[in-house]
Amino acid sequence: MIGTAARRFLVLLIVALPLALFATSDGAWLMKVPARDREKVNPYRDQTDAVAAGRRIYVDHCAHCHGDDAQGTKKRPSLKSARVQQEATEGDLHWLLVNGNRGQGMPSWTKLGDPQIWQVIAYVKSLH
């Protein structure tokens, strides 16, 4: 027999799991970014070489999902959207690239290392 507390916990789990998954989709990841991460500033901001390097990294690792021109594909979002270009700070994007959003198919890119992550962000932000 399952006790009352255990039954409540199970019901909570069953209800909370889909909610948690739903909550992380469609840009809800922005809500999860800690303030200290959101305020991070790109050390490569507005550097022409960094934007060019970021473009190379983007083509190698990101274009197959987000499209050659970053307009998005059937299943993956555009990186020229207002959410990415205006709503999200550089720090937000850095947090997303470090942590990923696995439920939505976005992997973590820590294997690139911080400098290359910031270079990609410099490129993406140059697309506005």
93 binds other proteins, rule: CB under 8 A? no
**CA-to-CA dists, residue 13 to 9, 10, 28, 30, 104, angstroms:** 6, 5, 20, 23, 20
CB 98 within 8 A of CB 30: no
Write down the least CB distance from residue 51 to other proteins, Å. 8
Which CB, 50 or 93, lies closer to other proteins?
A: 50
Among 78, 81, 85, 104, binds other proteins (CB under 8 A): 104
Nearer to other proteins by C-beta: 27 or 100? 100
Size of the site for other proteins (CB under 8 A): 33
Q: Within 11-70, which residues bind other proteins (CB under 8 A)?
A: 48-50, 52-54, 56-57, 59-61, 63-65
Does residue 128 interact with other proteins by CB under 8 A?
no
Comparison of 82 and 107: residue with beta carbon closer to other proteins: 107
Q: Which two tokens stand for residue 5?
A: 């507390």
* Tokens describing residue 111: 């294997």
Measured distance CA(20)–CA(26) in Å, rounded:
12
Measured CA distances, 102 to 34, 52, 76, 84, 109 (Å): 18, 28, 13, 18, 11
Q: Give me the residues that bind other proteins (CB under 8 A), please.
A: 48-50, 52-54, 56-57, 59-61, 63-65, 98-108, 110-116, 119
